[in-house]
């Protein structure tokens, strides 16, 4: 009986630690993120995560409408965060020439910064974000 207690106690501790890290990552992900490594430098990109969906926005993101200089939601869909991978099930439509759906490896995620990496047929994509409202947010004045 003592031997099984010695085996199960560390196992239970690991499960509790893993679940708390997973919950913390989910909490860090929620909210609005500013993309700082932009595919097109003169445009602004934002990703917004709520508990079940992600919304991808870009300056004049709706390419079927006249340019206004404002942010438009160009894609949205469900996402899953599991084992350090962010899987986004977005519409296949491009967002200002870029497609963001698929699996992204989370290279870093804190309350203020997020770094994602994805392998594509044209090479590796790296995206870096700051969280809206964080002290270190980049200003564009």
Query: Domain coordinates of the chain in residue numbers?
Result: 2-131
Give one word for 75, left, alpha or beta, with left for phi > 0 and alpha for psi -120 to 50. Answer: beta
* pLDDT, tens only, 32-88: 999 999 888 888 999 999 999 999 988 877 666 667 788 888 889 999 998 899 999
For domain 2-131, which architecture applies?
Beta Barrel (2.40)
Is the pLDDT higher at 59 or at 127? 127
At residue 68, the pLDDT reads: 78
CA distance 85 to 141: 34
- How much of the chain, in percent, has pLDDT values that exceed 90? 39
At residue 64, the pLDDT reads: 64
At residue 141, the pLDDT reads: 40
User: Residue 71, Cβ neighbours under 10 Å: how many?
Assistant: 15
Is the pLDDT higher at 7 or at 77? 77
At residue 27, the pLDDT reads: 86
């Amino acid at each position: 009986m003592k031997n099984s207690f010695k085996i199960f106690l560390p196992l239970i501790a690991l499960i509790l630690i893993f679940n708390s890290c997973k919950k913390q990552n989910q909490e860090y992900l929620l909210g609005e993120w500013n993309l700082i490594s932009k595919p097109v430098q003169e445009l602004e990109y934002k990703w917004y995560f709520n508990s079940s969906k992600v919304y991808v926005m870009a300056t004049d993101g709706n390419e079927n409408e006249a340019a206004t200089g404002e942010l438009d939601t160009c894609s949205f869909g469900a996402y899953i965060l599991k084992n350090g991978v962010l899987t986004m099930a977005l519409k296949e439509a491009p967002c200002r020439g870029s497609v963001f759906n698929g699996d992204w490896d989370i290279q870093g995620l804190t309350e203020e910064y997020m770094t994602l990496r994805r392998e594509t047929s044209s090479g590796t994509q790296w995206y870096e974000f700051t969280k809206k409202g964080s002290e270190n947010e980049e200003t564009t004045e």
